[in-house]
Amino acid sequence: MSSYKDKKEDLVNRLKRIEGQVRGLQRMIEDDKYCADVLVQIAAVKGALNKVGKTILEKHAHGCVQNAIAIGDGDEIIEELLEVVFKFNK
């Protein structure tokens, strides 16, 4: 996971904002807000999480995967990367 050290603060801040959005969603449901408004906020949270995930995935590919290939562990790391990408895109 050290491949995204340079983005760590940004990622943590994004996750804190997402945490706030999720709390807001909880309040919206507790307050019986209009369904369409809740769904729009859910889409916003999903988009924000996807952006965090894509950032980490990019750093993983350019860091961990690249390093593993350089030392000869390419097949294993590529299999792992494919598994992660498939799970991420579900």
CATH code: domain of residue 62: 1.20.58.1000
Give the C-alpha separation, 21 to 19, whole Å: 5
In a domain, 13, yes or no: yes
Residue 1 lies in a domain: no
2 found inside a domain: no
What is the pLDDT at residue 2?
A: 54
User: pLDDT digit string (tens) for 10-30?
Assistant: 999 999 999 999 999 999 999
Question: pLDDT digits over 60-70, tens only?
Answer: 999 989 999 99
Q: 56: domain range? A: 7-88
**5 — pLDDT class (breaks 50, 70, 90):** confident
21 in a domain, yes or no? Answer: yes
CB atoms within 10 A of CB 49: 15
Domain count, the chain: 1
In a domain, 11, yes or no: yes
The answer as to whether 41 is a domain residue is yes
What is the band of 89 on the pLDDT scale with cuts at 50, 70, 90? Answer: confident
